[in-house]
């Protein structure tokens, strides 16, 4: 008998968690375009940040996802601490939507709903349709899992030892309220899903194993347990990200303190809203929602003070610590569509750095600057671009290993290819600068013809880069195709310069370093053109 109960509850919990994961992923994919706009909206004011926290958590159906994503934004310096606190407050409200989904009470329809959705994915060819089906299948598994847990727990009502066990943390006294809240916090910390423990709480209450006050106390504790996810995510993060995670814990613990202290008045307030006798599930969902709304209202005017307090308590990062060059962070992988959008911005920032390198070399060829003055600047820019590539690759390969839809997968691959090509282009530009420096150090001077030839080739390649960078920014296939003509003209220009040089080599005796150095520079510009053409092939879909 006990084994049968255990297996049913375990199976039900497993299906519930799997259903939550599938519904959350499906919702995230469907909400992808909306999530791409989140960054602009999050950086306005705390009220907008709270609204966006509610919105995003409601979309992805997981406060853990939205909170960890927020920690990632802070870690990447996309959000300030005070803006992040607003999002976290909103996420606490948004997560209560899960409770209202459970109020639907369609457990017996959960299995056919999940089955129909699973079968439909075999016939859908559209990515959007398959994503919707996955979300529906997840919802069905949630209700089926709850039904299994409910059936499994039903026999426990007739077993005295289990009834007395549940009564041990009954919320009939203040100490009992604290015990129940502690159990809720511990269970949520272990499962790392407040939605799962909310489902378990509702199931226990519906089966009569716990009373309504105990269910409310458990729900209060679950709000503390859910903060463990953000705390774990912040372990290796920046000081500001740690502060945001600590703030999440402080906000929820403070809320539980006032709610348990005023537990009886709080219960009376809830009972005036929804009658737990006639609608127990809705009453528990109301308790969850009311707690978080009241807590947010209480903390809104205190956000600034809380942020200042945490800045004093948590030490700032060491000034010698290596700062990130991008606004990307591994924690942002929870929301792939946001990573894709931000990655394009970071690659365009790489483009700005490469234009700076072109500008430095241009000053050398026109005689405005000496190469020894420019090499150091170019090396620093190239080192920065190396960091850009590493940070972009780390996050984007992480999301590629997850479950991306076709559109985001294509965008991610295109971004990674462009990032790699840009970094390689910077390598060749640095080689050109070092070759010029080596020639100068050995007393080798370019004559006017060679200097003019290199300057013209430099300008042609620089113009080509500007066109392709603009085409990448606009994702304009026609602009990519138009740049093919310039690639071909540069090829002709390179061949003409090479032939002219080889002709002069055969006619005149010139220093070997001048000959090889000049050809190295010509070949490096040709290679830059080749790497730019690789980008054209990716976006213009040239076979």
Per-residue pLDDT tens for 188-199?
887 777 777 888
Cα–Cα distances in Å, from 474 out to 337, 477, 539? 18, 9, 11
CB atoms within 10 A of CB 529: 25
DSSP letters, 40-99, are HHHTS-HHHHHHHHHHHHHHHT-HHHHHHHHHHHHHTTSS-HHHHHHHHHHHHHHTTHHH
Q: How far apart are CA 311 and CA 539, in angstroms?
A: 46
Decide: residue 394, CB within 10 A, 0-12 exposed, 13-18 middle, 19+ buried.
Answer: middle
pLDDT of residue 156: 66
Q: How far apart are CA 537 and CA 421, in angstroms?
A: 12
In degrees, rounded to 5, the angle at the alpha carbon of residue 173 between the alpha carbons of residues 171 and 176 is 50
Token pair listed for 186: 């511990």
In degrees, rounded to 5, the angle at the alpha carbon of residue 293 between the alpha carbons of residues 288 and 296 is 125
| The residue to which tokens 């606190």 are assigned | 85
Token pair listed for 242: 């740690």
Mean pLDDT per 10-residue section of the chain, whose length is 543 residues: 74 80 70 58 68 77 73 78 86 85 73 87 78 83 79 68 64 88 87 78 84 92 87 80 90 94 92 87 92 92 89 75 77 80 93 96 83 90 95 92 79 95 97 92 86 93 96 93 94 93 69 86 96 94 63
pLDDT of residue 416: 96
- CA nearest 194: which of 93, 293, 89, 96? 96
Q: How far apart are CA 531 and CA 426, in angstroms?
A: 11
Task: Look up the pTM and report it.
Answer: 0.75
CA 146 to chain centre: 30
User: Which helix (H) or strand (E) is 500 found in, with range?
Assistant: helix 477-507
Q: How far apart are CA 374 and CA 394, in angstroms?
A: 31
CA 516 to chain centre: 48
Q: How far apart are CA 48 and CA 53, in angstroms?
A: 8
User: Which helix (H) or strand (E) is 419 found in, with range?
Assistant: helix 406-441
All structural domains of the chain with their residue ranges: 2-313, 330-540
Positive or negative CA dihedral for 339, 340, 345, 351? Answer: positive
Token pair listed for 357: 């390198």
Cα–Cα distances in Å, from 406 out to 83, 393, 395? 32, 19, 18
Three-state secondary structure of 242-275: HHHHHHHHHHHHHHHHHHHHCHHHHHHHHHHHCC
Token pair listed for 286: 């109301």
Mean residue pLDDT across the chain: 84
The 3-state DSSP class for residue 171 equals coil
Instruction: Tell me which of 3.40.50.300, 1.10.599.10, 1.20.58.220, 1.20.1260.10 is the CATH number of domain 330-540.
Output: 1.20.58.220
Token pair listed for 258: 């006032």
Residue 51 contacts residue 91 (beta carbons within 8 Å): no
The 3-state DSSP class for residue 124 equals coil
Q: How far apart are CA 326 and CA 378, in angstroms?
A: 19
Q: How far apart are CA 55 and CA 90, in angstroms?
A: 8
pLDDT of residue 329: 83
Residue 436 contacts residue 521 (beta carbons within 8 Å): yes
- CA nearest 382: which of 356, 345, 418? 356
Residue 34 contacts residue 174 (beta carbons within 8 Å): no
Q: How far apart are CA 393 and CA 413, in angstroms?
A: 10
């Amino acid at each position: 008998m006990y084994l049968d109960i255990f297996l049913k509850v375990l199976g039900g919990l497993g299906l519930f968690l799997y259903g939550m994961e599938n519904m959350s992923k499906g919702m995230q994919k469907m909400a992808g375009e909306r999530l791409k706009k989140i960054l602009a909206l999050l950086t306005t004011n705390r009220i907008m940040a709270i609204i966006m926290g509610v919105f995003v958590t409601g979309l992805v159906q997981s406060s853990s996802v939205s909170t960890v994503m927020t920690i990632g934004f802070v870690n990447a310096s996309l959000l300030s601490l005070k803006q992040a606190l607003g999002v976290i407050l909103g996420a606490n409200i948004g997560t209560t939507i899960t409770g209202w989904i459970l109020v639907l009470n369609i457990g017996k329809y959960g299995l056919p709903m999940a089955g129909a959705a699973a079968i439909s994915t075999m016939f859908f060819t559209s990515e959007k349709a398959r994503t919707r089906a996955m979300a529906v299948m997840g919802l069905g598994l949630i209700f089926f899992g709850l039904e299994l847990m409910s059936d499994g727990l039903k026999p426990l009502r007739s077993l005295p030892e289990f009834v007395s066990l549940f009564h041990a943390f009954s919320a009939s006294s203040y100490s009992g309220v604290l015990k129940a809240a502690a159990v809720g916090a511990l269970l949520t910390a272990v499962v790392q899903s407040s939605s799962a423990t909310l489902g378990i709480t509702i199931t226990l209450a519906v089966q009569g194993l716990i009373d309504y006050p105990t269910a409310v106390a458990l729900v209060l504790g679950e709000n503390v347990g859910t903060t463990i996810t953000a705390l774990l995510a912040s372990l290796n993060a920046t000081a500001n990200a740690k502060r945001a995670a600590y703030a999440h814990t402080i906000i929820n613990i403070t809320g539980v303190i006032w709610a348990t202290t005023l537990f009886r008045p709080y219960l009376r307030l809830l009972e005036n809203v929804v009658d737990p006798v006639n609608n127990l599930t809705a009453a528990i969902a109301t308790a969850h929602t009311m707690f978080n709304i009241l807590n947010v209202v209480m903390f809104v005017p205190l956000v600034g003070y809380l942020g200042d307090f945490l800045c004093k308590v948590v030490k700032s990062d060491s000034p010698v610590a290596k700062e990130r060059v991008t606004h990307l962070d591994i924690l942002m992988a929870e929301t792939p569509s946001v990573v894709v959008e931000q990655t394009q911005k970071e690659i365009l920032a790489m483009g700005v750095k490469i234009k700076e390198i072109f500008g430095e070399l241009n000053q050398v060829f026109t005689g405005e600057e000496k190469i020894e003055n420019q090499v150091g600047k170019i090396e620093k820019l190239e080192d920065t671009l190396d960091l850009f590539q590493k940070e972009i690759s780390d996050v984007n390969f992480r999301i590629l290993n997850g479950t991306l839809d076709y559109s985001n997968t294509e965008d991610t691959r295109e971004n990674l290819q462009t990032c790699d090509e840009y970094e390689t282009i910077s390598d060749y530009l640095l080689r050109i600068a070092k070759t010029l420096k080596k020639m100068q150090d050995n007393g080798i001077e370019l004559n006017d013809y060679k200097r003019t030839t290199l300057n013209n080739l430099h300008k042609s390649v620089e113009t080509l880069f500007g066109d392709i960078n603009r085409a990448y920014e606009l994702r304009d296939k026609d602009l990519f195709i138009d740049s093919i003509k310039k690639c071909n003209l540069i090829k002709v220009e390179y061949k003409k310069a090479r032939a002219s040089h080889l002709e002069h080599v055969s006619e005149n005796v010139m220093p070997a370093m001048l000959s090889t150095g000049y050809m190295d520079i010509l070949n490096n510009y040709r290679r830059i053109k080749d790497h730019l053409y690789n980008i054209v092939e990716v976006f213009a879909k040239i076979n």
